[in-house]
């Protein structure tokens, strides 16, 4: 394998990893904090893509598109948490059933509004160029995804580790009853993290749009690798979802380059291996929920 090809696949894998990360991070935090398995999380990504595209095409401003997508994610997150997750807190079975239903409803709504066909999601003009990396053309847009992903990781990481809210959230992941006993309203923290996670997924959806296109299955297609990421990284671990995403992103791009079918098999094998050796995931906390 030549060096330029390697580099190009590597960058491809990392940009894909950033999208996985944006879904997996919220998913993992939501599970860690309130042990809610939210399969509808992928719907936030899906809606981020479509709303972002719509606003981008209407206004011509990609930044406005991103903003609209993130707001959509936040609002959806708040509504979903309030109306459908609260009634089933603590009941794992019903959470899974409920969120599977929501996944179905949100996907069908997209089909109802925008149709089932693949829609073109153009790259914003200022990112439409390609640059030459040792003789291979590489779209600047993918570098933009990488920059965005790393920036989000750093910001959220700093918030989680350096701010009071972040400490509360991390404490909640460890032991929510203790946090409650200390006089902090854990419910509010739950809602906030749920909305934030949804916003991150929607951000992933809109910046992933020009890379992956807009079609109704995209949410579910991203959900499966994102879930694998969460398991590899360790449920509830934020850095874990970043590292897991990079592993799966690279496995997807390198595996997919040689034999497309192998990519998924590789991902599943990595997951099986991690489950075999360290069932709690690479960064998982022993015990927990």
- The residue (of 109 and 184) whose beta carbon lies closer to other proteins is 109
The total of other beta-carbon atoms located within 10 Å of residue 164's CB is 9
Least Å from the CB of residue 67 to other proteins: 28
- The residue (of 67 and 109) whose beta carbon lies closer to other proteins is 109
Least Å from the CB of residue 260 to other proteins: 7
Which residue shows structure tokens 């015990």?
287
Q: Where do contacts with other proteins occur on this chain (CB under 8 A)? A: 31, 37, 39, 84, 87-88, 92-94, 96-98, 100-102, 104-105, 108-109, 111-112, 220, 224, 227-228, 230-231, 235, 260-261, 264-265, 267-268, 271-272, 275-276, 279-280, 289
Q: What is the rounded distance in angstroms from the CA atom of residue 22 to the CA atom of residue 17? A: 9
Least Å from the CB of residue 193 to other proteins: 18
Least Å from the CB of residue 251 to other proteins: 13
Which residue shows structure tokens 């400490």?
167
Least Å from the CB of residue 4 to other proteins: 28
Best CA proximity match to 186, nearest among 33, 19, 1, 13: 33
Q: Rounded to an integer, what is the distance from CA 74 to the centroid of its chain?
A: 14
- The residue (of 1 and 276) whose beta carbon lies closer to other proteins is 276
Number of H helices, E strands in the chain: 11, 2
Find the distance separating the first CA and the last CA of the chain, reported in whole Å.
45
- The residue (of 110 and 156) whose beta carbon lies closer to other proteins is 110
Q: Rounded to an integer, what is the distance from CA 288 to the centroid of its chain?
A: 22
- The residue (of 91 and 188) whose beta carbon lies closer to other proteins is 91
């Amino acid at each position: 394998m030549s060096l330029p090809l390697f580099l190009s696949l590597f960058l491809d894998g990392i940009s894909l990893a950033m999208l996985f990360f944006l879904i997996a991070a919220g998913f993992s935090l939501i599970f860690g904090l309130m042990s809610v398995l939210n399969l509808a999380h992928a719907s936030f990504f899906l809606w981020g893509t479509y709303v972002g595209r719509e606003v981008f095409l209407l206004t011509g401003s990609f930044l406005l598109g991103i903003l609209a997508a993130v707001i959509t994610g936040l609002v959806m997150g708040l509504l979903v948490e309030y109306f459908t997750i609260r009634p089933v807190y603590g009941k794992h079975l019903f959470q899974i059933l409920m969120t599977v239903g929501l996944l179905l409803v949100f996907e069908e709504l997209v089909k109802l509004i925008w149709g089932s066909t693949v829609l073109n999601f153009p790259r914003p003009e200022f990112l439409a160029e390609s640059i030459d990396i040792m003789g291979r053309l590489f779209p600047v847009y993918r570098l933009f995804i990488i920059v965005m992903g790393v920036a989000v990781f750093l910001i959220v990481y700093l918030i989680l580790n350096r701010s009071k809210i972040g400490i509360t959230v991390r404490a909640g992941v460890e032991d929510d009853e203790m946090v409650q006993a200390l006089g902090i309203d854990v419910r509010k923290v739950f809602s906030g993290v749920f909305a934030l996670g949804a916003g991150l997924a929607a951000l992933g959806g809109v910046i992933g749009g020009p890379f992956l296109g807009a079609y109704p299955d995209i949410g579910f297609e991203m959900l499966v690798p994102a879930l694998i990421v969460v398991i590899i990284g360790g449920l509830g671990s934020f850095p874990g979802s970043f590292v897991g995403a990079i592993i799966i992103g690279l496995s997807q791009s390198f595996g997919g380059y040689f034999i497309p079918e192998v990519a998924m098999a590789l991902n599943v094998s990595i997951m099986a291996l991690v489950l075999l050796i360290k069932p709690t995931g690479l960064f998982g906390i022993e015990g927990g929920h």
